[in-house]
Amino acid sequence: MTAKLIPPNARTAIAFMVIATAFIAATTLLAKALGTEALGPALHPLQVSFGRFLFAWLTIVAIVAALCPRLTRPHIGLHVGRTLCGFTGVTLMFAAAAAIPLADATAISFLNPVFGMILAIPLLGERVGKWRWLATAIAFAGALILIRPGAGAAQVGALLALGAALALGLELTFIKRLSGRERPIQILLVNNSLGLVIASVAVIAVWQAPTQAQWMGLIALGVTMAAAQGCFVNAMARADASFVTPFSYLTLVFAAGFDFAVFGVTPTGLSLLGAAIIIAGAALLAWREARARGPLT
């Protein structure tokens, strides 16, 4: 019985997801370096997002040119909605990464499936049972610990991360509608193409000439983000989401490790407690998603 629950290519799926989490954590580390004064005068989050989309787009276009996959007519409306939400979420996340420890920003971002569940009620007409609401309550309790009401600058950074989670949660509703309609490589190409257009317009008002080190950081950010997306898509293609999702929580471990190694930031006991509670809520939600294919309870 147990063997049937484990996909035959489980190890490959896990490997792709673990690599994706390392890349995702690396993108927040690069965003923090670019948004602070580590590589020169701090860049605006909109300019960091522009670099992310520009160089991710160039990477994906190169892959498409090499593979020549068959492309179909995209559902532009869904892609525009998804990209607007993704661009907003990524930009807010980059701003949060520059303001608070990466572990805190990453932990709060794990609320995005919770927001996705809540938003699916009015937008997708989904029903939610008591176990899912319990998972939501647990996750938000952890978020309150990390937001630290009244904690000044730390609170602002945490609220930025919370806004990022909300935008990325809304993006999930568009991803659900796109799922199965188009090939993953096409979804990545269209998403990053639209994102580049949005980012190019948004960056005009805040543009400043990056230093050579910042250009290198922006290139690394875009390539790393493209690699993260590619690994994530490959992981999801090889196993059910309910099987590989728990491994995505390793992002928090990588983020904390990178933050400590590069910036010397050590998570506090309160940060670890809040992160643990959020992960517990998100894990419970993932477990219920796996079982929710039957009757809701």
Question: 115-131, pLDDT tens digit by residue?
Answer: 887 887 887 777 777 88
pLDDT confidence of residue 140: 84
Provide the pLDDT confidence category of residue 232 given band limits of 50, 70 and 90.
confident
The residues near 255 (Cβ < 8 Å, ≥ 6 apart) are 25, 28, 29, 102, 103, 105, 106
Tell me the pTM.
Answer: 0.84
- More confident: 103 or 293: 103
- Going from N- to C-terminal start, the domains of the chain cover 8-291
Task: Give the pLDDT mean for 27-34.
Answer: 96
CB 281 within 8 A of CB 142: yes
Average pLDDT over the chain reads 86
CA dist., res. 279 & res. 252, Å (int): 10
Rg (CA), the chain: 19
Dihedral, CA of residue 256, residue 257, residue 263 and residue 266, to nearest 10: 60
Is the model's pLDDT at 22 over the cut of 90? yes
What is the pLDDT at residue 295?
A: 43
Beta strands in 104-177 (DSSP E): none
Q: How far apart are the C-alpha atoms of 199 and 225, rounded to whole Å?
A: 15
pLDDT score of 250:
85
Structural tokens at position 216: 């290198």
- Cβ burial of 53 (10 Å; 0-12, 13-18, 19+) is buried
| Neighbour count for residue 207 (Cβ, 10 Å) | 12
Query: Which has the closest alpha carbon to 140: 165, 120, 121?
Result: 165
Evaluate whether 17 touches 221 at the Cβ level (below 8 Å). no
| Spatial distance between the Cα atoms of 85 and 169, rounded to a whole number of angstroms | 8
Using CA of residue 194, residue 196, residue 201, residue 202, what is the dihedral sign? positive
Alpha carbons 39 and 234: distance in angstroms, whole number: 33
- 4 has a pLDDT exceeding 80: no
The whole-number pLDDT of residue 296 equals 38
Which of the pair, 269 or 8, is modelled with greater confidence? 269
Whether the CB-CB separation of 195 and 50 falls below 8 Å is answered with no
Q: How far apart are CA 278 and CA 140, in angstroms?
A: 7
Token pair of 83, please? Answer: 């990209």
Q: Give the tens place of pLDDT for each residue, 71-117.
A: 999 999 999 999 999 999 999 999 999 999 998 998 888 888 788 87
262: confidence class by pLDDT, cuts 50, 70, 90 = very high
13 Cβ neighbours under 8 A, 6+ residues apart: 7, 234, 235, 238, 239, 243, 244
Average pLDDT over residues 224-244: 80
pLDDT reading at 174 higher than 60: yes
